[in-house]
Chains A and B, each alone.
Chain A
């Protein structure tokens, strides 16, 4: 069955341009990392109030996309849904690339990145009560399991694939709930502390994973002139609707539990503070309102274009959900003593976007997109064209167009600063 999948030709000018542009962006990210390593984290926007910045925003976001798309691949390999088969390999590969990106983001956010290996000295040099150490086990295991999973898919052993797929999916669920627990178990930060957090993260992972997969699938298949069944897209759209509703319910429950308890100042700050427009417009608007309006519209949810737009909105919105949790979520000052703490010790935390940090984040996305399109070229991930088409058509140009577009989509996951690179790869 492996003959169903082919590599991307990747010899056209568009593909090469994309590789060069991404390579340059990734290299500038490397330069930014070296600067931050030499100069220290003063080059970032973080402070002792908001200790975690953009790299830690990328961590749950990339993990979520990874876990989501791995879970989606199980539709084919575990549940045996043949209609999703064309995208299944791509989904697993995407998951591996994204988990790599997530681990890279953690390493970059460490003050001493050269001591990264200490996170992987399980039980020996690690304090296993720490959610970071537990997640070290989960992420490391997840990376290995996904690699084995992809290897077994390539080896084409359906029975082993099913077992491995089940394991990988269960592990992906654990990985994402563990990531949520990093925030949910911190009692000191009222806006984060919540037993719902791991489940909310899981729901966000599923929603953003399905959404990313819809976008990637449609762009790759449609633009490289491969067969695309409308029913596949619309059924994934229905799945996305379910996940968005679950996510919305969990967000509401989370906010209500915070508002109901007497310690509600931080929750009110999150809902009505000076950063709350991110929550209402970018998170709720792009994750729930826009996509649900599209997906519940009986006319629009049958068209591929609108479903893809809804999915893209979710992919971007979930980024801002993570952003809003990690950065403004830590900004509310802690109440060390009853009363109003005067001066700088009781001030709201502020976060400045440092150029180094933005270049670094763009660099991570560019590196992931680069690995992804190189993977398309060197591994049999794309579904083969229909035999008639393969014979009659020149495959290279369209395939490359597809890769370029997809790459643009990869870049679109990030906020504002990404726009430049999107334009570049489209142009």
Chain B
């Protein structure tokens, strides 16, 4: 079984936010108003944070795209009382909306702030794009068919694309990518099997120094960053 992981080259990232936009479009994540964004109640599956170090003129800005880290030892999976969050065999941490009771314990426990709560009845109720061909099998199986308020949602590494590619015998990582990786104009985001030594992610990780976010939490995330 593959162990899916992502490598983000911060040297190539320009902070254009294409990945965030592509994620919103692919997964039909509600947009949220500016007020909701300031109040932090708008859902985000993917975000790009800007981290500054030093003072102008000796100032450096790091732009960090942050999808879910899909930790091997995920705190959200540990704390979920209803088994709504679980780790698939291929390492993807996924949320079952049918089981989620909305206790928000996972939002509290996540060290990366990647989880969002549905604070209101969303306008976009489908998880798939209604403007794309309506082949539900190709869009993948969603555990909870319609978006409702009161459940927690998060990045899925676009598991519907991965599952579809495996069904159709396409190669994940080259032919098929998650939406954020596909949309990146600078090809900063690579996706592939961490256990396969020939995959592009393994090659990248072997070629350069890499970091993971908040190693001190001991969560062993599967999103790697190649620093500038």
Contact = CB atoms under 8 A, between A and B. Distances in A.
A166 interface: no
Given A39-B120, A119-B101, A336-B213, A345 B107 contact: no
B110 interface: yes
Contacts of B52: 339-340, 342
- Chain A CB count within 10 A is highest, among B41, B116, B121, B217, for B41
A42 B41 contact: yes
A112 B148 CA distance: 9
Interface stretch (A47-55, A220-228, A310-318, A405-413): A47-55
Interface of A: 39-42, 46-49, 51-52, 106, 109-112, 115-116, 118-119, 125-127, 129-133, 136, 182, 186-189, 330, 334-346, 349-350, 352
Contact of B49 (A39, A110, A345): A345
B149 A41 contact: yes
Given A42-B41, A51-B117, A349-B40, A336 B64 contact: yes
A112 B102 contact: yes
B200 to A, nearest CB: 24
Nearest to B78: A129
Contacts of A49: 40, 113
Given A111-B151, A337-B51, A51 B121 contact: no
Contacts of A119: 81-82, 101
Interface string B16-42: 000000000000000000001111110
A337 B61 CA distance: 11
B140 interface: no
B150 interface: yes
B118 interface: yes
Contacts of A339: 51-53, 62
A345 B47 contact: yes
B186 interface: no
B104 interface: yes
A343 B44 CA distance: 15
Given A40-B120, A188-B111, A336-B113, A341 B150 contact: no
B38 A111 contact: no
B91 interface: no
A25 to B, nearest CB: 25
Interface residues of B, number: 53
B179 interface: no
Contact of B117 (A41, A132, A337): A41
A133 B150 contact: no
Contacts of B64: 336-337
Nearest to B60: A339
Contacts of B109: 186-188
Contact of A118 (B47, B99, B107, B121): B99
B141 interface: no
Contact of B150 (A40, A132, A344, A352): A40
Contacts of B104: 46, 51-52, 109, 111
Given A51-B104, A111-B103, A337 B62 contact: yes
Nearest to A116: B101
B83 interface: yes
Nearest to B51: A339
Q: In this complex, which of B38, B39, B79, B81 has the most chain A Cβ atoms within 10 angstroms of its Cβ?
A: B81
Given A48-B107, A342-B50, A130 B79 contact: yes
A127 B82 contact: yes
Nearest to A343: B50
B152 to A, nearest CB: 7
Nearest to B214: A336
A345 B113 CA distance: 9
B217 A188 contact: yes
Interface in B86-131: 99-105, 107-113, 115-121
B108 A188 contact: yes
A116 B64 CA distance: 38
B49 A188 contact: no
B108 A338 contact: no
B80 interface: yes
A40 B149 CA distance: 6
